[in-house]
A and B are shown apart, each in its own frame.
Chain A
Amino acid sequence: MMSLGSKFAEIQAGIDALRALGRNPFDIRFEKILSPTEALLDGRPVLLFGTNNYLGLTFDAACIAESARALHEAGTGTTGSRIANGTYSDHALLERRIAQFYDKRAAMIFTTGYQANLGLISTLAGREDHLLIDADCHASIYDASRLGAAEVIRFRHNDPDDLARRLRRLEGRPGDRIVVTEGIYSMLGDTAPLREIAAVKRELGACLIVDEAHSLGILGERGRGLCEAAGVEADVDFVVGTFSKSLGAIGGFAASDLPGFELLRVVCRPFMFTASLPPAVVASVNASLERIARDPSLGRRVLENARRLYFGLTAAGFQVGPEPNPIVAVKMPDRETAVRFWNRLIEEGLYVNLALPPATPASLSLIRSSVSAAHEEAQIDRAVSIMTAVGHELHVLERRASAAALPAT
């Protein structure tokens, strides 16, 4: 009989090492979600700062009402894929709304954000093509690159010169060049230098895909993400995103002006061979998308809140990511301290994400928090104060202070 214990012995050892220091971070069980910013964990209330619920729309009354309407009208599920079981009117409405929101000719929705990347990228990346992905891209982009038939090359994170070098190395070889970047990167909250990347794309010729999973509804005047904020929307061939973060539900999408985009519906396997989104989810996304298109104030609020947390933690002496965005990552001196820190935060009533190598760039151990428009200032201040107290208790801040006091070499 197959032994899962020996097949995954190393993984088990890793989990055991984490357990020796406290909770299993892969198995956090909330008894109750009270609001976008609070939950019950182990019978005690915790502040939620690790949800990616950027606009706090999971409990929005209009989204819930629309979702309930669709649930009663169209049932609990579609019980199959769009190509087999057909498209419901709300699926079609959502695709039109996304295309409209991005001012693109067409859009396609997927059952998850993961599948949107998996489907779009693996389908575009054919034999003889070349897929160039930013080194810090999300796992869904790496997995897409394994599913596709193209040759896959990593370029240095946020380094347009490195991308240009790698595109030049391909000169004379047949096939399309497909470049993939993200808007805001999920671990450190840094943004891509999209203007420079778009310039490289124009100069050397490539198709550009930008994943706005963490920037939809947050960046840009109309909330379209980094492409809008950087003024490069015309250079971006495909925008990909998710409904599971700022839109408060689940699902993913791709939008494009490229003629023939509709053909993807019959060649893209992660679209074709999985059940489509259930009516209640589609309806709540329709409502939340309508809300952010009408009211950009939520995006402004989450950025204000992000700055409050980011600069609060910086002032306390923590080393954070390079930009004040809704993902605020605090660098820990080592893995064990990160695990202890994360456990202590939960004990003090603060839930954040523990991010450890190899899931992080540059082998960093991170305490990763995400900020919501629904956070009140007092909650953010409480989060800073809990993190500061734990930072002193575990000597993270003292170590930082003494490192900063060392003369520059």
Chain B
Amino acid sequence: MTYNGDTIEAEIVKMLTGRIPAGVQVTGETRIVDGLGLDSVAVLDFIMDLEDHFDISIPLDRIAQVQTVTELSGAIGTLVSARG
């Protein structure tokens, strides 16, 4: 499957459903560390699911630079393109 920024972001939001507390609204601007109602390890575990889904590995230093869902989607997009 080919992805672009919008489809990746939509996939992230879809995969978050059921994992985050009820009532938490997710948009591109949502901060992944303190906006999802998840602790830091739960965020890293969620990112592992994204890695499986997109068949990439996101290095920890790259994750540390990412603050919002849109930025996370951008980092995934770069790695997906690099994979070819």
Interface residues of A (CB under 8 A from B): 135, 145-146, 151-154, 156, 166, 169-170, 357-358, 360-363
- CB proximity of B59 to chain A, nearest CB, Å: 4
- Contact in complex: B60, A154 (CB < 8 Å): yes
A357 to B41 Cα, complex, angstroms:
8
- CB proximity of B55 to chain A, nearest CB, Å: 7
B-side contacts of A153, CB under 8 Å: 57-60
- Contact in complex: A152, B56 (CB < 8 Å): no
23 contacts between A and B (CB under 8 A): A135-B44, A145-B60, A146-B60, A151-B59, A152-B60, A153-B58, A153-B60, A154-B44, A154-B48, A154-B60, A156-B48, A166-B57, A169-B57, A357-B39, A357-B41, A357-B42, A358-B40, A358-B41, A360-B41, A361-B41, A363-B39, A363-B41, A363-B42
B-side contacts of A154, CB under 8 Å: 44, 48, 60
- CB proximity of A135 to chain B, nearest CB, Å: 7
**B contacts with A: majority SS:** helix
A-side contacts of B45, CB under 8 Å: 135, 362
B-side contacts of A145, CB under 8 Å: 60
**Binary interface encoding of chain B residues 35-56 relative to chain A, with 1 for a CB under 8 A from any of its CBs, else 0:** 0000111101100100000011
A-side contacts of B60, CB under 8 Å: 145-146, 152-154
B-side contacts of A166, CB under 8 Å: 57
Number of residue pairs A-B, CB distance < 8 angstroms = 37
A135 to B55 Cα, complex, angstroms:
17
B-side contacts of A362, CB under 8 Å: 45
Q: Which residues 25-84 of B have a CB within 8 angstroms of A? A: 39-42, 44-45, 48, 55-61, 83
- CB proximity of B34 to chain A, nearest CB, Å: 9
| CB nearest neighbor in B for A167 | B57
B-side contacts of A146, CB under 8 Å: 60
| CB nearest neighbor in B for A359 | B41
- Contact in complex: A135, B48 (CB < 8 Å): yes
Interface residues of B (CB under 8 A from A): 39-42, 44-45, 48, 55-61, 83
A360 to B45 Cα, complex, angstroms:
12
A146 to B59 Cα, complex, angstroms:
11
A151 to B82 Cα, complex, angstroms:
16
- CB proximity of B54 to chain A, nearest CB, Å: 11
B-side contacts of A363, CB under 8 Å: 39, 41-42
- Told that A152-B60, A358-B40, A363-B41 touch, could you supply 7 new A-B pairs with CB distance under 8 A? A135-B48, A146-B60, A153-B58, A169-B55, A357-B41, A358-B39, A358-B42
| CB nearest neighbor in A for B59 | A151
| CB nearest neighbor in B for A136 | B41
A-side contacts of B83, CB under 8 Å: 169
A361 to B59 Cα, complex, angstroms:
20
A-side contacts of B48, CB under 8 Å: 135, 154, 156
A152 to B59 Cα, complex, angstroms:
5
B-side contacts of A360, CB under 8 Å: 41
A166 to B52 Cα, complex, angstroms:
10
- CB proximity of A74 to chain B, nearest CB, Å: 42
A-side contacts of B61, CB under 8 Å: 151-152
| CB nearest neighbor in A for B62 | A151
